[in-house]
Amino acid sequence: MRAIVIGVGNEYRGDDAAGLIVARTLKSKNLSSLKIIEASGEGASLLEAWKDSDLVIVLDASCSGARAGTVFRFDANKQKIPAAFFRYSTHAFSVAEAVELARSLEQLPPNLIVYSIEGKNFAAGAGISPEVANVVEGVIERALCDLEDIA
Whether 29 shows a pLDDT value over 90: the answer reads: no
Structural domain of residue 47, as residue ranges? 3-150
Q: Which pLDDT score is estimated for 96? A: 86
Kindly list the distances between the CA atom of residue 94 and the CA atoms of 26, 33, 77, 98, in Å, as whole numbers in the listed order: 23, 28, 17, 6
Residues 46-92: tens digit of each pLDDT:
889 999 999 999 999 998 889 999 999 999 999 988 877 665 455 45
Q: Which pLDDT score is estimated for 34? A: 87
Q: Which pLDDT score is estimated for 149? A: 85
Q: Which pLDDT score is estimated for 43? A: 74
What pTM did the predictor assign?
Answer: 0.91
Q: How many domains does the chain have?
A: 1
Q: Which pLDDT score is estimated for 151? A: 66
Q: What is the CATH number of the domain that holds 98?
A: 3.40.50.1450
Residue 97: pLDDT band (50, 70, 90) is: confident
Q: Is the alpha carbon torsion for 53, 57, 62, 65 positive or negative? A: positive
Q: Which pLDDT score is estimated for 31? A: 81
H-helix or E-strand containing 39?
Answer: strand 35-39
